[in-house]
Amino acid sequence: MTEVHAQRTRVVVVGGGYAGAVAANHLRQRPDVDITMVNPRRVFVERIRLHQLIAETGSATGDYGSLLGEGIRLVVDTVHHISAGDRRALLTSGAELDYDYLIYAVGSTGATPAGVPGFAEFAHSVADLESAQRLRYALADLPSVAPVAVVGGGLTGIETAAELAEGGRPVTLICGDTLGPSLSERGRRSVARRLRRLGVEIIEGAAASEVRRDAVALGDGRVVPGAVTVWTAGFAVPDLAARSGLTTDAVGRLITDETLTSIDDDRIVAAGDAAAPSGRPLRMSCQAAGPLGAQAANTVLSRIAGRTPAAVNQAFIGQCISLGRSGAAIQLSHTDDTPINLVMGGRLATSLKEAICKATLWSIRREAAKPGSYRWLKGGKRPARMQASRQVVSR
């Protein structure tokens, strides 16, 4: 009697952040899928808590043992090239992974500004775990009265400035044109009031032109003291897709159709910050990444089953801004992520913000235990053209 073996489908998930972890767990709805996640770290990074890590008010890592479902293989490495023709991911270590489908969830990194002297030598970042750890050590070596300059008035800059100022450090927030460009007018006023109560000096209408060892020079000639400079102005994405010959947008995000499938190869599906469906990406955030991860997995599962994948369908409800451990603001929005002139503050916002942060990991763990349980808000529409300012200042 001839033994018949069921054919198994190999899926490689590149990246273990919010999108990648959700995608990998969601794929487990089919028992005949072999799932390999490639991630450069052995731990999950809660990017939404990295400002707490640098201020020593909290941790920002999670255990993959509790976040990934049984059977998911974690490979601690990086993918340096995707050979789409061979369906093979080439790793930095020299190893190779064959795949039937690949989910591209490489996330985002801190932007490197062009033409800013001293940036490489003196600026710190909070865009990834290692950068945040180096910043934490640098701050620990300084007296508490040493001034800190934070460059970038987006959500990451706001949260970083608030967290450090609440701990007693003198902080100047250099916003460029506007504080909180993704917020409504009321949202900006609310955030500014809280920052000023914490002692943060806010500079709007001027950009950093040079980073020095102990200061930041502005384009208008002013010099802002900064024993440490934290650069939060902008995000970029890894160039893996471009290096692999795949079509990307100007920022480097993988361009896909509305099912999150690469326009170059229907075996490559994207999710999270590095995905640009129809060239119209969602705001870089964990609020977008998790649902995109589930939908990318659904596209793969549909193709395995011989069904037509569904188009992207998700909505936003607002932006949560941490303003120290004892403060927060919830900027409410339309489902297309455009802000409405309504913001929530006070104790309720603080409690809600923390609950949402905890729920983000809880939902990944729940998906690991019960594949297919992940839920997200649907019915939103994406603007025809995303404003560049909203893309670079968001988490």
Is pLDDT of 387 > 50? no
Tell me which of 215-219, 281-285, 305-309, 388-392 is least confident.
Answer: 388-392
Is pLDDT of 221 > 50? yes
Tell which residue, 356, 380, 388, has the closest CA to residue 287.
Answer: 356
d(CA 134, CA 124): 8
pTM of the model: 0.94
Q: Are residues 363 and 220 in the same domain?
A: no
Which domain range does residue 146 map to? 119-235
| CA 312 to mean position of chain CA atoms | 19
**Residue 347 maps to a domain:** no
Domain boundary among 193, 212, 235: 235
**Residue 331 maps to a domain:** no
Q: Are residues 103 and 243 in the same domain?
A: yes
Q: Are residues 186 and 175 in the same domain?
A: yes
**Residue 390 maps to a domain:** no
Is pLDDT of 390 > 60? no
d(CA 247, CA 172): 40
What is the β-pairing status of strands 123-124 and 109-110? unpaired
Domain boundary among 179, 203, 235: 235
Which tokens is 94 given?
């020299």
pLDDT above 90 covers a percentage of the chain that reads 93
The SS3 assignment for 196 reads helix
Domain count across the chain: 2
**Residue 161 maps to a domain:** yes
Partnered with residue 321 across adjacent β-strands are: 329
Q: Are residues 13 and 85 in the same domain?
A: yes
Please name the residue that has the structure tokens 């909290």.
Answer: 58
Q: Are residues 251 and 310 in the same domain?
A: yes
Residues 84-139 pLDDT 10s: 999 999 999 999 999 999 999 999 999 999 899 999 999 999 999 999 999 999 99
Confidence band (pLDDT; 50, 70, 90) for 184? very high
Helices first, then strands: H and E counts in the chain: 11, 25
Which tokens is 324 given?
């120290």
Domain boundary among 208, 235, 262: 235
Q: Are residues 205 and 99 in the same domain?
A: no
Q: Are residues 293 and 250 in the same domain?
A: yes
Sign of CA dihedral 38, 108, 115, 225: negative
Contacts of 124 (CB under 8 A, 6+ apart): 131, 134, 135, 138, 228, 229, 230, 231
Q: Are residues 134 and 204 in the same domain?
A: yes
**Residue 366 maps to a domain:** yes
Tell which residue, 7, 5, 29, has the closest CA to residue 372.
Answer: 29
Q: Are residues 155 and 195 in the same domain?
A: yes
Q: Are residues 284 and 300 in the same domain?
A: yes
**Residue 149 maps to a domain:** yes
Contacts of 255 (CB under 8 A, 6+ apart): 247, 248, 249, 262, 263, 276, 278, 279
Residues 60-70 pLDDT 10s: 999 999 999 99
Confidence band (pLDDT; 50, 70, 90) for 385? very low
Residues 31-81 pLDDT 10s: 999 999 999 999 999 999 999 999 999 999 999 999 999 999 999 999 999
Contact 261, 276 (CB under 8 A): no
The SS3 assignment for 240 reads helix
Please name the residue that has the structure tokens 């400002």.
Answer: 51
Q: Are residues 212 and 293 in the same domain?
A: no
**Residue 114 maps to a domain:** no
Sign of CA dihedral 191, 282, 81, 26: positive
Based on the number of CB atoms within 10 Å of its own CB, is 136 exposed (0-12), middle (13-18) or buried (19 or more)? middle
Q: Taking all residues of the chain, what is their mean pLDDT, rounded to a whole number?
A: 94
d(CA 272, CA 289): 4
Residues 360-369 pLDDT 10s: 999 999 999 9
**Residue 30 maps to a domain:** yes
Is pLDDT of 164 > 70? yes
Give the CATH number for residue 70.
Answer: 3.50.50.60
Is pLDDT of 18 > 90? yes
Q: Are residues 215 and 272 in the same domain?
A: no
